Structures are given as C-alpha cells and as structure tokens.
Structure 1
Amino acid sequence: MSKACVSCKRHRFPQELIAHAVWLYFRFPLSFRLIEEMLLERGIIVSYETIRRWSRKFGTAFARSLRRKPAECGDIWHLDEVRIVIRGQPHWLWRAVDQDGYVLDEILQTRRNTKAAKRLLTRLLARQGARPKRMVTDKLASYGAARRKLKSSIRHLSHKGLNNRAENSHLPLRKQERVMQKFRSPGSCQRFVSIFSAIRNLFVPPASIDNAISRHVHRVRAFAQWNNATALIA
C-alpha cells in the first residue's frame, strides 16, 4: 500500500482527530456544523469550515488508501442509474454493485443513453479485471445496446424486480444529499460519491453476513483497516 500524498504538517490538530472528523462526515448523514457540535461536546473547538477543508483535502487520499475488494468470476453485477440535479441541471449517477451491495464503480454523467452505459461497462471490465457471472439491470434499453456494442458475452438479465440491490444502493447517498442541500458542482459530486462509497464499502457488512457476531468481527476489521489507511499521512 502506497503512502497518501497529503501531509498533516502545519495542522494544529492531530491526524487522529482529522481522520475521525472525515470519517464522521462520509460515514453518516451529518453536516459540517453537526460534526463541529459533536466535537465541541468533547471539548474540541474547531470550525465547520475547517472540517470542510479536511474532508476535501484528506478524503480522497484516505479512500485511495483503502484496499479494493478483489474481483471474482462468480460475481453478479447490478447496474442502475439515479437522477441528481446540480444547479438546476439534471445529471445521472451510474452505479454498479455486486451481489453483496459492494459498490464497484460509479460515474456521474449528463446523459442517460447507450454511450453513457457503454462508458460504465468499459470502466467496470477494465478495473475489475474479470467478467461477472451475469449482469442485472432494469428495463433501460441502453444497457443491452452497450453490451452489444462491446460485443460482450456476459449474460444480461433485464428486469426491474431483480435489480433491488442496485436501487437500494442509492438510498444512503440520497440521505446525505438532503443533509448537504444538494451538490454544488459535478466535480464535487463525483469526488464525494467516490469517497463516500469507498468508506461505506469498508464499514457496511456484506448482505451475506446474517448474524451479530460476524457483523461485529467485520466492523472490528474495518476499523483496523481504516486506522492503517489514515495513519499513512505524514
């Protein structure tokens, strides 16, 4: 694991506090002002604007330091898109998750057509390095057209009722979007969802874990990995 290219030098607060504030913001639907209040309750005086700058500076580096889930040939990819309005202009966040709800990739695009679907599929195949067992989407015809353009032999199931895994993956982001009172720009939206999903992937137990002990073990390991990732800043 390579070191994150950011530094805590010349920051008044220790890196443990900075990492904790960043974790709170991306892990839970909290505003910067609420995090400021939570830290104040512990006797830590820091402004919400400082927390905002921490999230912008360190969030991407922390997310980059987290290990990605290795691809498996038996994975099932669920693909879906959700409408996001930024400064009055509609955009589409294209997202792919696996059978456990783990976010594989997501791209903010201005179109909801074959070209946009093809871009998502191309990135997925390149980044994952393995083909899925099958691909599940809703009834949007662009997915099938994109698969044909790529001449892919991946089995494609197009059925709205089978794609709840992808549709449910939008809900946590929707909660955070309401707290943030919408995104300010396409770039800030793409940056936020990338960090948000990386941290959520780490801490949320996969759907296959169905007992309390296993979920506890999963979260303990997640915190150990998070502490290792955030300790990489100098």
Structure 2
Amino acid sequence: MKKTQPLYHGHRFPAVVISCAVRWYFRFSLSLRDVEELLLERGVVVTYETIRCWCDKFGARFAQCAKAARRKPGSTWHLDEMFVTPRGEPYLLWRAVDEHGAELDVLVQKRRDKAAAKRFFLRVLRSNPVPRKIVTDQLRGYAAAKADIPELVHVKHVFVKAAARVNNRAENSHQPTRRRERQICGFREARRMQAFLSCFGPIRQHFALLRHQMNAACHRTALQKRFATWHGWTVTAAEDGAN
C-alpha cells in the first residue's frame, strides 16, 4: 500500500515554526517582511519569500480546518459585494456571512449581474446547508439568480437599503478586508486576492473572539482553547503522521 507523505515533508523548518508564521500572517495585519522580522527576533532565519510559499501551501488547508471546527452555520445568509481594484482594474468581491457574522464564503468576480449572483449562490451552497432566509441589497440580479436555483426558490428573501458603510451585518463583514487592503496598499492580482481572502476569513475568525461579550479571564481561557485546537491541526497531526 502506498504511504502518504507527511504534511511538512521536504521542509527543513519544524511544523511549529511554519504554523506560527502562517497564523501570524493571516491573523494579524502583518506583511511577509513583518513576519520575517518577528521570526528573526526568535532566532529563526527565513526569507519572506519562503513565508509566502508556506502561506500559499498551507493556508488553504488550515482554513478548511478552521471552517470544519466552527459551529454549524446559521440559517440566515447576508450577502453583499464590494468593489476592489487590484492594479487599478475594478472587480467585485462577493461575500456571504450568517447572522452571527461567520463568513460562509467569498468570491472575486468581474461582473455584478444575474450570472455572477448565481455563480456565488451555487458556490456557497456547496459548503453550507440551504438557509431559511436570505438578506441582500436591492441588486435585481440576486432575485433573478435565486429564482433559477431549485434549492433557493422557496427561501424567504429580504431586501435592505443599498448604501456604502451602513451599519448592517453584510457591510460590517467587509471591515477586516478593508483594513488589510489599506495595510498592504491594495491587492495586486485577482487570483491571489481570491486565494488570500479564502484563507484570511476563516483563520482570522477562529481567533477573533467577541471580546466585548466576555471578561478577561474568559477571553484568555477561550483563546487558549483556540490555540490548542490550532496546534492540533498544524503540529500534532503532522507529528503523528510522520511517526
């Protein structure tokens, strides 16, 4: 029987260093060079290009683990799209979150029409159960696309006022992406933006607890549990597979 290679096969750095670098990059507003400097302070000499390769290779896998570990998605979808301009070229970033603010999926597309809305609906349905209610802005493509999908035909559809920076669940879900976009002075390429944001949302939300809803002791305890879970995905599982 053919043996599967360990997760970190061929890497000279231990799993704990690689997983720490990937977590820092997706969790905090740090550049690759910032992560390189933090590792150097701890005695780990590695280039930022190597860290980029680690994030490209392991980010999607760790994001899948974060999605699988979170609680079951809520029954209400909040969908919205925002403009992004990698290298000055306009794109739409479509995002879906549930009523708790958990990100369901993101998709970078060129258009803002029925076909784009349908494509996004089908993408979200592949990894999430059929919702009880869908909340969108007044873009007519949403209703037209929803009518073409059998699973969503009878789902309640609620329209909200379409305006930038209003205080609602969908608009607020864009804030972490906007902050990261400003920090890196804009995205460079649509394909890499899609890959980055698909990992950024689940990994960031795994550690971004609702701090205002708990005291300091509860927050530290909950965060320690999240660290232990992350360590189990990224380090312990790799060590077990190598034995």
TM-score of the two chains, using structure 1 as the length reference:
0.86
Is 1:211 the counterpart of 2:211 in the alignment? no
Distance 1:78 1:228, change over 3 A: same
- Match in the other structure for 1:164: 168
Structure 1 residues 219 and 5: CA distance shift in structure 2, 3 A: farther
Contact 2:78 2:169 in 1 (8 A): yes
Q: What's the % identity of the aligned pairs? A: 42
2:155 aligns to what?
Answer: 154
Cα shift at 1:38: 1.6
Structure 2 counterparts to residues 1-234 of structure 1, below 5 A: 7-68=7-68, 69=70, 71=72, 75-129=75-129, 131-150=130-149, 152-160=153-161, 164-205=168-209, 210-212=213-215, 213-231=217-235, 232-233=237-238, 234=242
Secondary structure of 1:7's counterpart equals coil
Contact 2:77 2:131 in 1 (8 A): yes
Looking at structure 2, the residues matched to 144 and 87 of structure 1 have their Cα atoms a distance apart, in angstroms, of 32
Q: Distance in 1 between matches of 2:21 and 2:136?
A: 36
| TM-score (ref. length: structure 2) | 0.83
The 1:90–1:24 alpha-carbon spacing in structure 2 relative to 1, beyond 3 Å, is same
| Cα distance, 1:67 vs structure 2 | 4.3
5+ residue gaps, structure 2, are none
What is the alpha-carbon distance in structure 2 between the residues aligned to residue 104 and residue 114 of structure 1?
20
Query: Are residues 128 and 10 of structure 1, via their aligned partners in 2, closer, same or farther at CA, if it must alter by over 3 Å?
Result: closer
For the residues of structure 1 that align with 2:128 and 2:232, how far apart are their CA atoms?
A: 24
CA deviations on 1:21-61 (whole Å, 9 max, x unpaired) are 11000001101111122222223222222211211122122
Aligned residue pairs total 228
| Structure 1 vs Structure 2 CA RMSD | 2.5
TM-fit CA distance, 1:87? 2.4
Structure 1, unaligned stretches of length 5 or more? Answer: none
4+ residue stretches of structure 1 with deviation over 3 A? 4-7, 69-72, 213-218
Distance in structure 2 (CA, Å) of the matches to 1:206 and 1:95: 20
Please list the CA deviations of residues 79-137 of structure 1 after superposition, one character each: whole Å capped at 9, or x if unmatched.
001111122221111110011110011111111111111111222233213x2221111
